[in-house]
A and B are shown apart, each in its own frame.
Chain A
Amino acid sequence: MSMLSDFMFISAGLFCIGIYIVLSKRNAIQILIGIELMINAAILNLVAFGKYDDLANSGQVFALFAIVLAAAAVAVALAIILNVYRQYKTIDPAKVERLKD
């Protein structure tokens, strides 16, 4: 029995949880976690399909790329969050309204 569809169900669940976190949370770091969950769901799919690509390993290779990109994105996002916090003393994206001092 193949577990490919099981992988995909898990991935779908994670993705929707990620969407829920992104939509509902009022905290930039939690939103970031939601995004990361979504990215991970995608990576899971990549890896699951990549199992059957033995020659080019495209699934795994792009999973690696995605992980690296996610890490880079997190670094930049956290830097932005820190900066925003320094300016506005809050990390609730809804409260960051003023564009200029």
Chain B
Amino acid sequence: METVLTHSDISVIQLAVTAVVLPFVAFLLNLFIVPRQSKLSGVLSGLAIGASLALSVFVFFEVWNQPALHVQQIWFTVGSTQIRLGIWLNNLSVLMLLLVSAIALPVHVYSIAYMKGDNHYTRYFAYLSLFCFAMLALVVVDNLLLLYAFWEMVGFASYLLIGFWFTREKAIQANKKAFLMNRIGDVALLTGIMLVYTHYDTFDIVTLFGDHSLATAAATATATKSVTIAGLCFLAGAVAKSAQFPLHTWLPDAMEGPTSVSALIHAATMVAAGIFLLGRVYPLFNTEVLTVIAIVGCFTAFMAATIALTQTDLKRILAYSTISQLGYMMMAMGIGAYSSALFHLATHAFFKCLLFLAAGVIIHEMQHLKRKHRLHIDAQNINNMGGLRKIMPVTFITCCVAALALIGFPLTAGCLSKDGILIQGFAWAEGKGWAYSIIPIGAVLTSLLTAFYIGRLMFKVFFGESGLEGISADSEPEAHEENPLLYLPMILLALGSLFPLFSLNPLKFESAWIVKGFADMVNKTESSGELVPFLISALSVCVVLIAYGVYVRQKLQWLKFKGVLFNMSYNQWYIDTFYNGIIVRAVVGLSRAASWFDTYVIDGIVKLIAGTGLVLSRISAWIDRYIIDGIIHSITYFVKQAGNFIRGFQTGRVQGYLFTMLIIVLALYILKTFI
């Protein structure tokens, strides 16, 4: 794959590398040089990511819809195998590069205000920069091993950030959970990489999945079993990282981290890494795997949407919404709507990030109220909110934009991407039998559920009266939303959630440039393509109106908030309970058994040996004491007596000895000389 690179291409790659490395520099500076709680750290990280964004934009325009850029050098050599590493910039890479930095910048800006006064300000930004570095690096590297390394680093940064407030027990539990869940996926991913390596003898992504690649040929022609398994392994990795069923439960718990972190990592970027991974290795998947992907995605989307219906925690609702939307993307990948999946990834990043940032502001406000009135309430419970639109107009408006985008309301970015998925879904199911059409129908249902829960969220938070007794929010005289650093990013993201950023035609998803950038895997369709979006939009509006009726007007009381379905949704389909009850208990039981074995069987044998040794040594001690010591004592007795006898000759006076010696010398000399 050695292509001749022109000078400008090399500079583009250098710029890309710079964009990747800048946050790392910020991380190192924050970690080692910048003093704790220094205001500098936020500015530093923000500047780094800002510069990265600028470079990414440049790189994007250089690479987008141009031939992919690729440089390599030898990393290390094992035997005759050369492992190369390098940078691969194709449409997918630069899109992700741009997306990550574009989302990260507003979050950084927001964080500067949001984390103000925290005791570990510098540490926060260090972690954030580390995450950005890992994520940016993840999207540009061309080597599976390196990709795995950065994959792990992303997970690790996420772990650090979830447990950022490490004094909270729940945060510790959440980050452990996230880490362990991710670990399952990571192991699967590593297995997948190994399988790919044994099969194709290379780690090089370009060789594997680029144009005219090995995998493309393999997937289409000879779909061996190992390739299928490798595909499933990659899927499992993506499932864990993107919080898909059945490994999704870490994501809601991950909301224990700072809200800005949730916005950046758990809504917009890191969870998208799974989708990105699927996109990177897409040629590897054969039909079976793709179907599995579609099923998993569809099911996750539906399940998460139903759970989101009943949750009361603001951030948890958004978390489940994220899971649901990621399921959407997953499903799109599975049905071959590659471009739409990525398109949705991009649009979703904007509006979900915005929703989280808004949630952060709202929670901030609630905590403020809580402190002010000395209440003991959960600041994140939406039942305690209400009527906030009057005191937080900017948040309200931006939130509305995001919610509409999430519903897929026309004129928003979400409408374009979501409709694309739905249309392609119907097209895919067409002519394959009724069973296949469950998937697009599930998607539509999910879409309606989405409309309902987001409507519920909006109405509970912004409309009606405050959930807090005796406190009317609008009687608060003081200024809210005072910090422009908080709402400026939100406004920017809200603008990004509207259609013009992605397409000039608000109704036709094919005209979006992201869709055009990727060669689609599904044939273009025209049947019912135009109808579906309008139908769904109309239905969505109806659903929103129902929600309005339920939560604002307090009508439609026949909707029960009890019952099996409600409980199932409220308790998140009992998945966590299941995990705790079955898997954890099984592991604990196994370890108890092992412990019993250790205590009684192994220790018993050891004690038996020890007892034998003890008896033997008692015997030898007796021999030692009476027989051997007896001999020695008798010898010493004789020596002692002899010594006592000789002792009398020794006075211990050196001078005496010397004198004696002198006398002897004199005597000898006299004898020798004169006699």
Contact = CB atoms under 8 A, between A and B. Distances in A.
Contacts of A22: 655, 658
B659 A93 contact: no
Interface string A55-83: 00000000000000000000000000000
A97 B652 contact: yes
A23 B658 contact: yes
B653 A19 contact: no
Contacts of A94: 653, 655
A37 to B, nearest CB: 14
Contacts of A93: 653-655
A93 B662 CA distance: 19
A23 B659 contact: yes
Contacts of B652: 97
Interface string A80-95: 0000000000000110
A19 B665 CA distance: 13
Contacts of A97: 652
Interface in B605-656: 652-655
A94 B659 CA distance: 14
Contacts of B653: 93-94
A68 B653 CA distance: 27
Nearest to A22: B658
A20 B152 CA distance: 88
A22 B654 CA distance: 9
Nearest to B659: A23
Interface string B658-674: 11001000000000000
A23 B654 CA distance: 9
Contacts of A19: 658, 662
A31 B655 CA distance: 9
Nearest to B652: A97
B653 to A, nearest CB: 6
A50 B653 CA distance: 36
A94 B652 CA distance: 9
A93 B658 CA distance: 13
Interface in A1-59: 19, 22-23, 31
A10 B264 CA distance: 98
Contacts of A31: 655
Nearest to B653: A94
Nearest to B662: A19
B166 to A, nearest CB: 57
A23 B655 CA distance: 6
B178 to A, nearest CB: 67
A97 B655 CA distance: 14
A19 B658 CA distance: 9
A97 B662 CA distance: 23
A97 B653 CA distance: 9
A93 B655 CA distance: 9
Contacts of B655: 22-23, 31, 93-94
A23 B662 CA distance: 10
A7 B654 CA distance: 29
A22 B656 CA distance: 10
Contacts of A23: 655, 658-659, 662
B640 to A, nearest CB: 16
Nearest to A96: B652
A68 to B, nearest CB: 24
Contacts of B659: 23
A36 B655 CA distance: 15
Nearest to A97: B652
B420 to A, nearest CB: 94
Nearest to A93: B654
A23 B656 CA distance: 8
A23 B661 CA distance: 12
A5 B652 CA distance: 38
B324 to A, nearest CB: 85
B656 to A, nearest CB: 9
A86 B662 CA distance: 32
A22 B657 CA distance: 11
Nearest to B654: A93
Contacts of B658: 19, 22-23
Centre residue among B652, B655, B659, B662 by max chain A CB count within 10 A: B655
A31 B656 CA distance: 13
B661 to A, nearest CB: 10
A94 to B, nearest CB: 6
Contacts of B654: 93
Nearest to A24: B655
A12 B32 CA distance: 75
A3 to B, nearest CB: 26
A23 B653 CA distance: 11
A31 B657 CA distance: 14
B333 to A, nearest CB: 85
A94 B656 CA distance: 10
Interface in B295-341: none
Contacts of B662: 19, 23
Interface in B392-408: none
A23 B657 CA distance: 10
B227 to A, nearest CB: 82
A22 B655 CA distance: 7
A36 to B, nearest CB: 15
A94 B658 CA distance: 14
A19 B654 CA distance: 12
A88 to B, nearest CB: 13
B517 to A, nearest CB: 88
A31 B652 CA distance: 16
A31 B98 CA distance: 93
5 contacts: A22-B658, A23-B659, A31-B655, A93-B654, A97-B652
Interface of A: 19, 22-23, 31, 93-94, 97
Given A23-B655, A93-B655, A94-B655, 12 more contacts: A19-B658, A19-B662, A22-B655, A22-B658, A23-B658, A23-B659, A23-B662, A31-B655, A93-B653, A93-B654, A94-B653, A97-B652
What 9 A-B pairs come out closest when comparing CB atoms? A23-B655, A23-B659, A94-B653, A22-B658, A93-B654, A23-B658, A22-B655, A19-B662, A97-B652
